[in-house]
Structure 1
Amino acid sequence: MFHTLGAFWNQSFFLPQPTLTEKNLPDQTGKVFIITGANTGIGYHVAAILYSLNAKVYVGARSESKATEAIASIKKLHPSSKGALEYLHLNLSDLTTIKGTAEEFMRRESKLHWLDNNAGVMIPPAGSKGAQGMDLQFQTNILGPFLLTKLLLPVLKRTAESEPTGTVRVSWAGSLAVDLGSPKGGMAWKSASDGVSTLDDSHGIRTNYGISKAANYFLGNEFAKRFGERDGVMHNVSTLFQDTRNRLMTLMNKQSYNPGNLKSDLQRHTSGLVRRLIDLMLYPAVFGAYTELYAGLSQELTMKGDQGLFIAPWGRRASVRKDLEDEVVKEDGQAAKLFEWCDRVTKEYA
């Protein structure tokens, strides 16, 4: 309880200034990045900053038209950039498409310096499903990024072989919902028709969102344990959104639940009065980009000490609830169980 209240306070109020921004990031010429969900919100700002520093950025998005609009907008903002922006079709809610996405990227590139698993869905309409019929948040926030990351491990490993230690990275999308929205132990399971455990999506869309964010924390740590040292790739978890305004929104509008202290496209379903009041509590979305940039590019982070690290706004080392940390440490804990479940479910699509 005390940790949860502390995390809520420390990640929501009187935040220190970001330590890594477009003003002090070095030139990124020759670097290749994939930013999922880069057509809007935080991902858009991450892509824009990297492009302004001459990087080659793949804009992972489901809609080509929206990605093309975002690319044109970023290029207009930074006309002197010597970098490149490329559209990469990515539909995380349909597992049958992700292998094609990974193969297309590897046909076009021989290196990948940072995979930023930024994209996700938050509190969709009740009953929303992915293409394979599972809860939309589980498919988009857990299984999709898991499969994409696993398929891109070979190119990440090859890149790490010729780059400074700890500079090739994968970042996973966390949230204060890791602490505030997930059940004890992080996951909720049920027995499927064949008797094998599967994630339980019957607890409602808000709890499912919390589970999906705890899952990202677990997967960041499990990939780090299983592949980090072997491949020379650092995995970490960045807190993209803050949930300070959840309680106010819940009181004022029971049908709107939209975590985040960041102005972004996530507020599109919020009613006018609530949105005007909540806007007073929000930071510009670019601040979320600073958290991600710290995860992906900060030279403070090291392979030895920061594998699986949970990163708070706007780029700080942080911790999560002890019950979740305990599950990461256990050989047969919830983190390991989740990884095996993801591996089993996505096997036919790999």
Structure 2
Amino acid sequence: MFFAAKFDPAKDLNDLSGKVVVISGANTGIGYHTAKILAGRGAKVYVGSRSKEKGENAVAQLKEEGISSEQVEYLPCDISTPALARQAAEVFLSKETRLDILVNNAAMLLDGSTISTQDGVTEMIMTNHIGVAQLTMSLLPLLLKTSELPGSDVRIVTVGSNAHRGSAAKNPKLDFSTLAAFKDPHEKDTFPTFSRYSVSKLCNTLFSNALQRQPKVALSNIICISLHPGFVNTSVSSKVSWPRLTNAIMTLLAIKPEAGAYTSCFAAASPIVRQHPDQYKGAYLEPYGKILPASTHAQNTKMQDDLWRTTEEYLKGQGASP
């Protein structure tokens, strides 16, 4: 884009030594650069990736770029099913006794030919929301425990999108009190894939807001933030019908993944957030760290509660909830 970031991680983040961070989808793009920035400020970062090869390659690349080997570690982290998401959490919990920052970065941008899972939930919702919810809930006890430590600053950051303002996600008939919205493929919509993505990103902000309002979280110092990273040039252009055209548009208009990580880093570690917790708890941010009102649906507390309850019941039915 044709403007400069007012937030500079190199200057505006405090020393993060002693902090432990988990970032899902950190082997490439926004997640990779979020890991690089936070590790560069001294945090120990677990680089979550569903692919062992890509995750280990990302860790190796971070080391080549100057990050010490003690500060980055590969974490097997596949959130495409509740069972796998819980497994990722269990691997982490076997290694650490604290967790200061969770960045839910992994997401599906385009789904494949198999739109829905065996039980009818769309793959987009399964990965972008249910997997995120399971990972977060499985790590929440440790996040709460860490929040009780002196001087702690615990944050849960969920990378959403301004796509949560899309027409499908603004539908007045949208209802999360049952699984129906999780199973809707939006096949009659003009752009079904974007509709599914849009609703899944609404789920991200609804979930973040609902999480902030859960009694144990509300009584803690934990700050839950959802955000839009900006229009970022990612590898998605190679997976669309017109890759050359899409790549040209992305190159011209989109920001680089490193800049796309700035808002995540602001949410995860900016001292400004801790200085003003009441402003940032349950906030929705856009680049670079600017608080903006989320969509009307995203701010609807009944919709937040419905989503939380339906998600929790679904996970219990899968036998994968905490």
On whether the aligned pair clears a TM of 0.5, the verdict is yes
Q: Residues of 2 paired with 1:129 and 1:298: CA distance?
A: 38
In the TM superposition, residue 108 of structure 1 has moved relative to its aligned partner by 0.6
Corresponding residue for 1:253? Answer: none
Q: Residues of 1 paired with 2:197 and 2:9: CA distance?
A: 29
The AA in structure 2 aligned to 1:278 is: M
1:342 to 308, 311, 319: 311
8 A contact 2:14–2:270 mirrored in 1: no
8 A contact 1:15–1:314 mirrored in 2: no
8 A contact 1:15–1:313 mirrored in 2: no
Name whichever structure is richer in helix by fraction.
2
8 A contact 1:95–1:132 mirrored in 2: no
2:170 to 163, 184, 192: 184
The AA in structure 2 aligned to 1:281 is: L
| CA 198–278 in structure 1, closer or farther in 2 if over 3 Å, else same | closer
| CA 111–65 in structure 1, closer or farther in 2 if over 3 Å, else same | same
Corresponding residue for 1:268? Answer: 238
Corresponding residue for 1:284? Answer: 256
The reply to whether residue 111 of structure 1 matches residue 98 of structure 2 is yes
The reply to whether residue 228 of structure 1 matches residue 217 of structure 2 is yes
Deviation per residue, 1:303-334 (Å, 9 max, x gap): 32321100001211111233432x13xxxx11
Corresponding residue for 1:92? Answer: 79
RMSD: 2.3
The reply to whether residue 202 of structure 1 matches residue 202 of structure 2 is no
Identical aligned residues as a percent: 28
Structure 1 segments unaligned to the other structure (5+ residues)? 1-12, 243-260
Q: Which SS does the other structure have where 1:341 is aligned?
A: helix
The AA in structure 2 aligned to 1:202 is: P
Q: Residues of 2 paired with 1:183 and 1:279: CA distance?
A: 28
Q: Which SS does the other structure have where 2:206 is aligned?
A: helix
Q: Which SS does the other structure have where 2:47 is aligned?
A: strand
| CA 102–190 in structure 1, closer or farther in 2 if over 3 Å, else same | closer
Q: Which SS does the other structure have where 1:349 is aligned?
A: coil
Deviation per residue, 1:241-290 (Å, 9 max, x gap): x4xxxxxxxxxxxxxxxxxx212222222421331243111111111110
| CA 131–49 in structure 1, closer or farther in 2 if over 3 Å, else same | farther
Q: Residues of 2 paired with 1:349 and 1:297: CA distance?
A: 30
Deviation per residue, 1:210-261 (Å, 9 max, x gap): 1111111101110000042233311110112x4xxxxxxxxxxxxxxxxxx2
Q: Which SS does the other structure have where 2:261 is aligned?
A: helix
Q: Residues of 2 paired with 1:236 and 1:190: CA distance?
A: 21
Q: Residues of 1 paired with 2:25 and 2:296: CA distance?
A: 31
TM-score by length of 2: 0.88
| CA 187–217 in structure 1, closer or farther in 2 if over 3 Å, else same | farther
In the TM superposition, residue 130 of structure 1 has moved relative to its aligned partner by 4.7
In the TM superposition, residue 179 of structure 1 has moved relative to its aligned partner by 1.4
2:155 to 151, 163, 169: 169
Q: Residues of 1 paired with 2:246 and 2:279: CA distance?
A: 42
The AA in structure 2 aligned to 1:18 is: K
What is the correspondence of 1:1-350 to structure 2 with a 5 Å cutoff?
17-78=5-66, 81=68, 83-130=70-117, 134-164=121-151, 167-184=153-170, 188-189=174-175, 197=180, 199-203=182-186, 204-226=192-214, 227-240=216-229, 242=230, 261-270=231-240, 271-301=243-273, 302-325=276-299, 327-328=300-301, 333-347=302-316, 348-350=319-321
Structure 2 segments unaligned to the other structure (5+ residues)? 187-191
The AA in structure 1 aligned to 2:311 is: C
8 A contact 2:98–2:143 mirrored in 1: yes
The AA in structure 2 aligned to 1:177 is: A
8 A contact 1:118–1:173 mirrored in 2: yes
